[in-house]
Structure 1
């Protein structure tokens, strides 16, 4: 990992020793798969019981779907099925004497996945986002939300620490419904040469839009709850104080900025199920109860707007949820979002989910990213349409109502972000294993390549 703290994996031939290690790991992965198959074959005569194990997992996924998409007695039955099916599988294996076979097969499969990921990773080398050294700001202005993240601003003494480093702090008075955009614009008019936010991702996005509009650097202090944007910038989410080092010893990144109907976003714009749920005023205080109350109508299509989405190359019809992200995620994870390897690819990430019933729910649980109900792609623009006058949208966690068509675009390199020179960095996120590549790597003959001179594009430059 280089000084930027964020990484992207780009394929390279690398030295022969690296290829040799990758090839050895690929072969070991295939041997582990063979071991898993051998463990299953060892249970000859019990194939039906092993098949019942897979059926049990599918039933658990179907039960979870019914628990979410139904109410009353059907929900209770679904919850019981989701719990009893996997327990029943374990009991079945124990009674039939196959528990050891199952454990060995599972261990071999886990080892195969680990070896395959390591093999593919060795074919790549990290390249971080380009950085440059910059002078310390003279008139930095930081907007801080005292209640964000459970009161981290006060807990860590961020106001006093920032002022000691020469920054001016604007503390939001939440009782007066403050406008972060107006405050940021006023700070620019008064001569600010850096804008920063200690607060949630929604506030960060709004102030980042002002910074991008005026060509000023933007700074993130990890005082929010999730600190999603900060995580992908490689900042330390557990130590908000360390973010302030960007004021005295910082480097600058150029990252993309998302736009949804003229409003900036740094992370995601969500349509469909999640966007409907966060509109409920009870959601912030009772997230689980509110979601369980609304999910049945949303999942079976009895409530909520019917959506369609157009990307550069595809049209998605009637998805239940669409997640548009400022740069794509390393994995298609519509629930937790995951991590973005880079924030400067110049493309939006799109994850669309359509689950029509218990069968598709089971498929999604078993196949994950390869399920037919999950679509992942990238696009420079996304247009979400509906017959409704307005549709709910969650933009960086903020609940909005927007008239369709809602247009999402990306502004490549629009935002200058000031980050500490020394920071943990975002962990590498391995994508799904491509077994075809693993097999090719394991059996292809070594190829010798003439060395070619390379230039490190990630060298830090000085701001003259």
Structure 2
């Protein structure tokens, strides 16, 4: 490592410590009123969680009271800070602390640079075939003129008939039989998984066009989700990644498999048109009633009893939590990510808000094989967002490096943000890094 590269982590670590110290000083300067505001802010966070739990796990008056608490708690803290005339100093302390956290993560990442997924040079395909769903993503195929652009680059396009159910995997196999040397998809993650399995089966490169609604797989590959047409650049100037392909029973998945509450909610025909209303209507029975089968999960050497929700992912997320999974920095590690949630009441909801990943109701781990048992012969499962019912036990595995994914040489997300790939934040390491000699930093 060059002297400049070795010096940067130490500088960032020192800035992080200065910001953290300044944040503490700002809090001390506010005096008893500022400390009271911060204490009340912690209490408000717990109250918000309790209110949120009542709002989603109950109906009627408890739901209304919970919603009021969830809104009133943070408003009360702001009012207290204004009345105590410490709002600006508290906000300054918060900004300094957040800046310190950002610098600390950047310092640790700079000291131990992450290894991105390795790429491989391969010649462009001669007979690529792309399957496109014209309704996906609200009509992105037409809006971005994907058919015309793909054909200009020498690809044959197969448009799905949205008025009838089609065998997407069958269309992909037919394309292979007719001589395709690359298979691609402009559509949602569920459609991508079906075609990806065919590509892996025949050892053909697979092309992802980010024309879906959320495009989780495209995001983790570093592709541009704002302009799907840029994904087609891989047909002309691209490289290949070796990516793992998930299996749940006999079905492929590229992102996640969900069990429990979410998997049951998406079974409702009303979910697609009214997600929030459908979820609020179903959650009370699923969380505190007997609205679903009781699950038992074996993940590696771990056992999870009766999780209310379970998410199994194709490789692990960088910082998984129940609200925002973030992204997967690598898709070639050969392990499944496991996120289980069990909240039995308002107290556990408050603990989850205050302790995060260390809360007793949240289980985060990784395993090479996950088996889900249930007290029912068949259970709802959401595979890459698609609602299915599968016989139990349900087994999730990974085919390591089974999928050759062709991506553009230049893609905006190829170098993830520091929080995506950096090591877990440990202030002891930050202190050691700040005061270590350049050649001895961790």
Give 2:252's aligned residue: 264
Contact preservation (8 Å) 2:312, 2:337: yes
Match of 2:329 among 317, 341, 356: 341
Match of 2:92 among 95, 104, 107: 104
Q: Could you tell me how far 1:429 is from its partner in structure 2? A: 4.7
Contact preservation (8 Å) 2:78, 2:87: yes
Give 1:33's aligned residue: 20
Query: Structure 1 residues 29 and 130 mapped into 2: Cα distance closer, same or farther (>3 Å)?
Result: closer
Q: Could you tell me how far 1:121 is from its partner in structure 2? A: 1.6
The 3-state SS of whatever aligns with 2:231 is: helix
Q: Could you tell me how far 1:21 is from its partner in structure 2? A: 3.2
Q: Deviations over 1:339-378 (max 9, x none)?
A: 1111111111111112222122122222322322222111
- Bigger shift: residues 212-221 or 37-46: 37-46
Give 1:289's aligned residue: 277
Q: Could you tell me how far 1:26 is from its partner in structure 2? A: 2.4
Q: Could you tell me how far 1:209 is from its partner in structure 2? A: 0.4
CA distance in 1, matches of 2:207, 2:347: 46
Query: Structure 1 residues 125 and 264 mapped into 2: Cα distance closer, same or farther (>3 Å)?
Result: same
- Bigger shift: residues 426-435 or 81-90: 426-435
Q: Could you tell me how far 1:401 is from its partner in structure 2? A: 0.6
CA distance in 2, matches of 1:300, 1:20: 54
The 3-state SS of whatever aligns with 1:174 is: coil
Contact preservation (8 Å) 1:360, 1:373: yes
Give 1:251's aligned residue: 239
The 3-state SS of whatever aligns with 2:222 is: coil
The 3-state SS of whatever aligns with 1:89 is: helix
Match of 1:402 among 390, 409, 413: 390
- 1:377 and 2:378 equivalent? no
Q: Could you tell me how far 1:32 is from its partner in structure 2? A: 2.8
Q: Deviations over 1:430-459 (max 9, x none)?
A: 15522232233335555559xxxxxxxxxx
Structure 1: runs of 5 or more not aligned: 1-13, 450-464
Contact preservation (8 Å) 1:339, 1:429: no
Q: Could you tell me how far 1:192 is from its partner in structure 2? A: 1.5
Match of 1:434 among 407, 422, 426: 426
Query: Structure 1 residues 40 and 248 mapped into 2: Cα distance closer, same or farther (>3 Å)?
Result: closer
Contact preservation (8 Å) 2:56, 2:283: yes
Match of 1:139 among 104, 122, 127: 127
Give 2:342's aligned residue: 354
CA distance in 2, matches of 1:134, 1:22: 36
Query: Structure 1 residues 50 and 214 mapped into 2: Cα distance closer, same or farther (>3 Å)?
Result: closer
Match of 1:315 among 303, 325, 332: 303
Give 1:197's aligned residue: 185
- 1:226 and 2:218 equivalent? no
- Bigger shift: residues 414-423 or 428-437: 428-437
Query: Structure 1 residues 446 and 300 mapped into 2: Cα distance closer, same or farther (>3 Å)?
Result: same
Match of 1:42 among 21, 24, 29: 29
Give 1:216's aligned residue: 204
- Bigger shift: residues 198-207 or 186-195: 186-195
Give 1:4's aligned residue: none
Give 1:188's aligned residue: 176
Contact preservation (8 Å) 2:263, 2:380: yes
Query: Structure 1 residues 28 and 418 mapped into 2: Cα distance closer, same or farther (>3 Å)?
Result: closer
- Bigger shift: residues 100-109 or 175-184: 100-109
Give 2:8's aligned residue: 21
Give 1:160's aligned residue: 148
Query: Structure 1 residues 415 and 277 mapped into 2: Cα distance closer, same or farther (>3 Å)?
Result: same
Query: Structure 1 residues 40 and 130 mapped into 2: Cα distance closer, same or farther (>3 Å)?
Result: closer
- Bigger shift: residues 356-365 or 222-231: 356-365
Regions of 4+ moved over 6 Å? none
Give 1:5's aligned residue: none
Contact preservation (8 Å) 2:109, 2:418: no
Task: Supply the RMSD in Å over aligned alpha carbons.
Answer: 1.9
- 1:169 and 2:157 equivalent? yes
Structure 2: runs of 5 or more not aligned: none
